[in-house]
Structure 1
């Protein structure tokens, strides 16, 4: 499974994805409001930053799974994710997710 396929799988099957998007969008919008008026980002740039946050935060998980699974076959990844309750563990960490204060 490629990283892109992995992200698509999570976006379709992981209910914590919506939580991540909500929290990261709030973070980016708050950060954007603190910029000087003429330096503020347009909505598309804010959303791009949110998407980058998602990709970067899932990269370590992907790397760890890739080391464990040692296969590019999608069903083997899904099997492993289900057997080891990866989404459940990820859901627990999403509940505690905080991006901290915006300076």
Structure 2
């Protein structure tokens, strides 16, 4: 068995929590607002906005993956990962942190 890779972590979050939904509920309005500030001829279409939101979510989950990797100190077992996520209430913590997520202040 191996550790969860970032894609598997994303899939796990999607199946077991509202983290992705909550993240997108903040990211998409922010990106759409930023897009409206662009000159009309230079505005992005909705597919590009969605790709930008997906990229932000990928970066977010990569950070979470890195933090879990540090905490587990090289444990490679998938079950260790799932136990860590469960025992630290990580899903609930991430969902709660989404309420405090703000994109507008990050400039």
Unaligned runs of 5+ in 1: none
Shift of 1:19: 1.2
Distance 1:68 1:101, change over 3 A: closer
Q: Are 2:22 and 2:95, in contact at CA under 8 Å, matched by a contact in 1?
A: no
**TM-score, length basis structure 2:** 0.85
Q: Are 1:11 and 1:17, in contact at CA under 8 Å, matched by a contact in 2?
A: yes
Tell me the residue number matched to 1:80. Answer: 84
1:97 matches 2:66: no
Superposition pairs of residues 13-24 of structure 1, within 5 angstroms? 13-24=16-27
Tell me the residue number matched to 1:38. Answer: 41
Matched residue count: 103
Q: What is the aligned counterpart of 1:58 among 57, 61, 70?
A: 61
Shift of 1:26: 0.4
Which stretch shows the higher mean deviation, 7-16 or 45-54? 7-16
SS where residue 89 of structure 1 aligns? helix
Measured on the aligned residues, the alpha-carbon RMSD in Å equals 1.9
**TM-score, length basis structure 1:** 0.88
